Structure 1
Amino acid sequence: MLTSLEIKKLTTIEEMETIQKLERDVWGMDPIPVHQTATAIKNGGLMLGAFDENELIGFSYGFPGYANGEAFLCSHMLGIHQSYRDKGIGALLKVAQREAAEEMGYNLIRWTFDPLQSRNAYLNLSKLNGICNDYLVNCYGEMVDGINKGLPSDRFNIEWRISSSHVKQQLNYDVTPIYPFEVLNRNDFPAINDMEQTLQTIDYNEMSIAVPIPAEFMEIKKT
């Protein structure tokens, strides 16, 4: 953990321009226009920057959303400079986002993530206690940035009830996972074994279905 890390709200045009540079470094694509981010944070949005000795190393960006009669903060982007990843900075940015959003009057934050990104899954579902009820098929269409290029943009939609005891007290529900898989092909890929029967018999109050994903999905994409 960085002892010199500082997280603060960003509001000026100059700060938005600094965010653009980090966006290019993280995703290798054109950044969000400054006029859009500047307008959003003046109207219920939130931009947070993580700094190491005054150098911007990470950020989170969200704008107001509304669905099903409820307003929420739509957390659109969270990026960490490659040199500072796997240091817990993403989790700290999310905690800071939760605290700032509560001060602004929000009770809910929503965002999406790629379900094959195991690090993001661990952060969102295990460390932050987010809840997913939606699987969005090809959510953003074809994406051409360095991280997403070449695959459908399937996403989990996360709801983070930031004022709930589930999030604040980190409540966990003990369930017994079942593994309805057996290796069926010569590439040793897991295949579902009689999933229809499994879904008919599972007790969702007592059991969960464990679905395997690659541990290092980005490495698989590279090779």
Structure 2
Amino acid sequence: MTKTQEIVIRSLHRIEELEDVRKLESTIWGETDSTPSHQTITAVKNGGLVLGAYMEEQLVGFQYSFPGFNGQSAYLCSHMLGIDVQFRNKGIGEKLKLAQREEAIKLGYSVITWTYDPLESVNGYLNIAKLGGVCSTYIANCYGEMDDLLNSGIPTDRFLVEWHIGKQETTDYRGPGIALDYVMENSLIQWDTDKKGLPVPSLTLPLPEQECGTAFVAIPKDFRTIRDTNIQAATEWRMKTSEIFTNLFQQGWQVTDFIKNSKTEIPVHFYVLSLK
């Protein structure tokens, strides 16, 4: 059991606990596709993991993983992480991931993988900058067309993250202190802003030469607002980032860092890519 401030995180094993997880999942994403508790308890009994985040005995977040195998080695496939909308932006997601790392090591895993929408900047900052995950695989329309509360309207493209937990000794931000002006000038996606101050992708720069060593790709700070208010701009962001990342990964680049830009007048953050 891990306790940090008012949040208690524990590994779940009882069917009653896992049914609470199912109910929270349905609240977040919708009832139709919630994962049955008989499936999560079977995963838990066979090398999987379900973690619950509690505040005063109320379940406010969860994480669900199951074993994966690529034909050569086993890994933990981190399938779902959800936080009650009333408890977001309190660091609960990071606490769940750190507890997941601790429990996965106990179970004998050295790698955890998961997918996430690369345009969700909060997840990008957590997964890449803070946890130290890397990505060199882009999955176009990973889950097909989805009508849930978070994915409707555009293709469900995803990054496949690899988190090498045996090597990760710290969650400190790994940013090398690159000047923001340099990052902006060299971002492979440039942008304009609309009347609401939201970024709209404009031109794209040529892919960098191999000797450059570092590449940058801008994404919106607040993609959900763009998706909810300007679906055309959201689709343009999806299509341009899909093309850029797919081409970079094919040429041997991988995402290794994330620059969180704190200037309110600049409406984008940046992925950092390095050659493998």
Which TM-score applies when normalising by structure 2?
0.72
Corresponding residue for residue 217 of structure 2: 211
The code of the aligned residue for 1:149 comes to: S
Structure 2 contact 53–59 (Cα < 8 Å) conserved: yes
Q: Aligned ranges for residues 57-206 of structure 1 at < 5 Å?
A: 57-164=60-167, 167-170=168-171, 172=174, 174=176, 177=183, 178-182=186-190, 189-195=200-206, 198-200=207-209, 202-204=211-213
Corresponding residue for residue 9 of structure 1: 11
1 CA distance for matches of 2:175 and 2:43?
A: 37
Identity over aligned residues, as a percent? 44
Alignment of 1:23 with 2:11, yes or no, is: no
Partner of 2:39, secondary structure, is helix
Q: 1:44 to 1:83 in 2, by over 3 A?
A: same
2 CA distance for matches of 1:184 and 1:192?
A: 9
Q: Which structure 2 residue ranges, 5 or more long, are not aligned?
A: 230-276
Structure 2 contact 141–156 (Cα < 8 Å) conserved: yes
Structure 1 contact 28–145 (Cα < 8 Å) conserved: yes
1 CA distance for matches of 2:27 and 2:103?
A: 26
Q: 1:11 to 1:203 in 2, by over 3 A?
A: same
1 CA distance for matches of 2:50 and 2:158?
A: 23
Match of 1:49 among 49, 52, 60: 52
Q: Could you list the runs of 4 or more consecutive aligned residues of structure 1 that deviate by over 2 angstroms after TM superposition? A: 169-194, 198-204
Cα displacement string for residues 162-215 of structure 1 (whole angstroms, at most 9, x for unaligned residues): 011xx21358373854324555899973334441xx4335522xx22x212111
Q: Which structure 1 residue ranges, 5 or more long, are not aligned?
A: none
Q: 1:190 to 1:151 in 2, by over 3 A?
A: closer
Cα displacement string for residues 136-157 of structure 1 (whole angstroms, at most 9, x for unaligned residues): 0011111110100111010000
Corresponding residue for residue 220 of structure 1: 226
Cα displacement string for residues 36-82 of structure 1 (whole angstroms, at most 9, x for unaligned residues): 11111100000000000100000000000011511000000000000
2 CA distance for matches of 1:222 and 1:182?
A: 22
Structure 2 contact 65–80 (Cα < 8 Å) conserved: yes
2 CA distance for matches of 1:75 and 1:181?
A: 30
Structure 1 vs Structure 2 CA RMSD: 2.3
Q: 1:180 to 1:36 in 2, by over 3 A?
A: closer
Moved more, 65-74 or 38-47: 65-74
Which TM-score applies when normalising by structure 1?
0.88
Partner of 2:76, secondary structure, is strand
Corresponding residue for residue 256 of structure 2: none
Q: 1:190 to 1:222 in 2, by over 3 A?
A: closer
Structure 1 contact 190–212 (Cα < 8 Å) conserved: no
